[in-house]
Structure 1
Amino acid sequence: MKVKEVADVVGISVRTLHHYDEIGLLVPEETTEAGYRLYSDDNLAMLQQILFFRELGFPLKQIKEIIGSPSFDRQEALALHRKMLLEKRNQLDRMIATIDKTMLHAKGEIEMTNKEKFVGFDFSHNPYEQEARERWGNKAVDEANAKVGSMSKEEQQALGERMNEIYRNLASLRHQPPESAETQAGIQEWYDFLQSMGGRYTLDAFKGLGQMYVDDERFTRNIDKFGEGLAAFMRDAMAIYADRNEPK
């Protein structure tokens, strides 16, 4: 199949396929003397595998490392995709149920506790870990993961609730100026929380993390669940915090 035919069948752009070829992620079976890329059935099977990884939030660099490994097993990978997608579907089902209840609550037909309003949100698994490693190195991530891993289930739940509490507080402040005293106090809590996790973020890394909340739409989508515009607000407030606390 030619590149345009593959793009039409799959529903992705020709430019994406060209990019995958350029970075060595998906190299066509053959390129004609005229420069036409020709894709085989094996190419299409690998493309399906790549898109499963992309759907689950894996960055292209990590996908290339995984599928290029001598130990890569396609059947094992498919089984893993299925397991992860089922977990994702279950979480989405819980969130949909929360939306349904919230609609009824808004109409006055039922009562919801604050805890019930956030059923389905799950930040215990970090799908962006590889990107964090690439940006700030392994040490901060490994220390944070080790600390969480040593906690009991109850401690991990309490940690998640504390994180959500900080997000909710910042969401309630997002219409204030990011440099306001209240906002900066909330950002101080967020900085202290990250440090308590063993992350040991420098102020520059903390500022960069805030920028990623906006640059990466997946971060934006998750954070803005607590309030529209929260990711951009936190980005601005975290930058101000870092600049103000940078040693002179």
Structure 2
Amino acid sequence: MIEMMTVNKVSKLTGVSIRTLQYYDKIGLLHPAEHTEAGYRLYDDTALERLQQILLFRELEFSLKEIQAILQSPDFDRDKALEQQIELLSLKKKHLENLITFARGLKQVGGTNMDFSAFNTKKMEEYATKAKEQWQHTDAYQEFSGNSKGRSKEAEEALARGMMTIFADFGKHKNNDPASEEVQALVKRLQAYISGNYYHCTSEILNALGAMYGAGGEFTENIDKAGGKGTAEFAERAISIYCK
């Protein structure tokens, strides 16, 4: 059984205010895994992992809108993101160490020091800008960002429900041959749905999405919730066959 955490516990654990977590839910950036009968938000490990990514991207000084588009884009690569985040944090660490050394020097020596190099953040800013560009200049990101611009929370939720309806249909066929005509028609329907509502879903992108669906984590859990346990893995196999 997955252990759930209340929004209050998540706030205490992460240092993110309850109001901020509520706002993330409101804009569709971080939804709770479930709600209690009284309507209180509950978060699981998958939601907390997503929160970690959000906080690390905030360290890269991405806006919430940018973070949302990146995390939902088919181009998102968790390992690549972590590499960038580690590099930026290392640069920040070096910057802080230089400031500490500078301050200690002023305290020990006294007098005036007109060297302002310790305050220079140019290298850090240049890296953050470069990291942003790597994410934002992909065709899928640009198209997703443009299509989702101005879309209301209700519209986003309706689209998500439509996607889950397709996966629920996958679940009805998960004991069948993934290469069967009926199942392959579902894959084609999924591809058309993504292209019509998010970004042009090429076979290459669809294949990458299929691998992500079956890899565990948030996508797998949501798909299995819609179609029953094993649906995400079944959809991955069906998509792989379709794309070949």
TM-score normalised by L of structure 2: 0.47
TM-score normalised by L of structure 1: 0.47
